[in-house]
Amino acid sequence: MNKSFSQACENNKEPILQVIKTIFLESTTVWEIGSGTGQHACHFAHHLPHLNWQPTDRKENLKGIDCWVEESGLSNLKPSLALNVLDKKWPCQSIDALFTANTLHIMSWHEVACFFSGLNAYLTKNAQVCIYGPFKYKGQYTSESNKQFDHWLKTRDPNSRIRDFEEIEKLATTANLKLKNDFSMPANNRLLVFQKD
């Protein structure tokens, strides 16, 4: 099977790495929700050898991710696991660190709520959470390109859209997560850092 490839992942993997290496400092397992192609998992596991990286995604995407995992030969990069945020039980006992990129605007709002509900259930005390992607602030787009992207998302799937930062922070609060940082990233994206209270 041919590996999946995302040019967006290729473009943003290094800027994201520069931020998350300052967040995920302790040796632990980072769970990645919505690993997509697997490119991020490989890049981060390679450059952050003190971490074990656990890619997850919907079942239909796992073969593509595992092509990247197997080719990497990295001992700290685990085979992917099936995880759908709608599942009542996630494939873990607990999570000490979590990363997700470009997922919340693809999910329906119900799925976003389930994502945070899952974090509330599985995150350990002081767990760090990094969420990368585009957001609106006070109902406003941060760029014209994000406005166009949002229009494209809604045309493709009426349940998808760029999320309002304030709504995400509200959901995070219900999951006992506190905003620690909001990093500006290239291409009009953000990287939100939360910590479990």
Cα(164)–Cα(138) distance, integer angstroms: 7
pTM flag (> 0.75): yes
Contact 72, 49 (CB under 8 A): no
The two structure tokens encoding residue 140: 């406003």
Q: Model confidence over 75-127: pLDDT tens digits?
A: 999 999 999 999 999 999 999 999 999 999 999 999 999 999 999 999 999 99
Which tens digit of pLDDT belongs to each residue from 44-77?
999 999 999 999 999 999 999 999 999 999 999 9
Residue 139 in this model has a pLDDT that exceeds 70: yes
| Residue range 7-133+163-196, CATH number | 3.40.50.150
Q: Which 3 state secondary structure label does DSSP give 16?
A: helix
Average pLDDT over all residues of the chain: 97
Please state, in angstroms and rounded to a whole number, the distance separating the CA atoms of residues 128 and 123.
9
Q: How far is CA 78 from CA 97, 137, 164, 190, in A?
A: 15, 36, 33, 27
Q: Which of 5-9, 81-85, 144-148, 158-162 has the lowest mean pLDDT?
A: 5-9
What does the pLDDT look like over 126-135, one tens digit per residue? 999 999 999 9
